Amino acid sequence: MLVHIPHVLTAAQVAHCRDVFAQATWEDGRATAGHQSARVKQNLQLPEDSPQARELGDLVLQCLEHSPLFISAVLPQRVFPPLFNRYEQGMTFGSHVDNAIRPLTGTPLRLRTDVSATLFLSDPDSYDGGELVVEDTYGSHSVKLPAGDLIVYPASSLHHVTPVTRGARLASFFWVQSMVRDVSQRALLFDLDMAIRQLNQEVPTSPSLVMLTGVYHNLLRQWADP
């Protein structure tokens, strides 16, 4: 299930991110890659423990808390602190699957990566290439979104970033452990929630709203691991 979540960051917040990036020191992106991914990863990354990464990561997390669509699509239990990468001309990230478990740096906690997320921070017309391509049972999906928009998709998906041929692609990426680990169950809950919201706009006094809302929460009660 791929879900496009628009306007997670405002234009002013995106501009702030770019200002911070311009003053930051970047490192080889393979610093956070697993063994298999490191073989096909060619990009730059803000050091995970840098003040810039922590500042911008906190900003992204605050914005996610105010995104009903993100919460509905992902049902987050725990979010990995957002990381930030940069693809310059010739850089790419070959086909890979994200690590299933990631340790939370500085804590004894580990996070199960149910959902992967990419937050685009470059205007799409400022660079060529750099599409995120996600493969699922319905084929390959090429994603290149406006700055400030987010795409979420199952972390179990095979995916890659095509080579950048002009400009620079800036993005934040992170993973989410969902309260509902099964992707098909999350998809059903998301579709049901979207239908309830639509019905609430069209016929807000319908008794069916109470029944459907009850079905949603009873399914969530059955499937969730809070």
Task: Provide the β-strand partners of residue 118.
Answer: 151, 173
Return the pLDDT at 44.
Answer: 97
Is residue 23 pLDDT above 90, yes or no? yes
CATH topology of domain 3-178: Jelly Rolls (2.60.120)
Is residue 31 pLDDT above 80, yes or no? no
The region of weakest confidence among 45-49, 105-109, 121-125, 181-185 is 105-109
Is residue 24 pLDDT above 70, yes or no? yes
The mean predicted confidence, pLDDT, of the chain is 95
If you average pLDDT over residues 174-202, what whole number do you get? 97
| Percent of the chain predicted with pLDDT > 90 | 91
Q: Which of 1.10.3470, 2.60.40, 3.40.50, 4.10.860 would CATH assign to domain 183-223?
A: 4.10.860
Domain residue limits, the chain: 3-178, 183-223
Q: 130 to each of 17, 65, 192, how far by Cα in Å?
A: 19, 28, 33
Burial of 108 (0-12, 13-18, 19+ CB in 10 A): exposed
Is residue 35 pLDDT above 80, yes or no? no
Is residue 32 pLDDT above 80, yes or no? no
Return the pLDDT at 37.
Answer: 73
Question: DSSP for 3-63?
Answer: EEE--SS-HHHHHHHHHHHHHPPPEEGGGG--HHHHTTEE-EE--TTSHHHHHHHHHHHHH
If you average pLDDT over residues 58-65, what whole number do you get? 98
Return the pLDDT at 34.
Answer: 66
Tell me the pTM: 0.95
The region of weakest confidence among 85-94, 99-108, 173-182 is 99-108
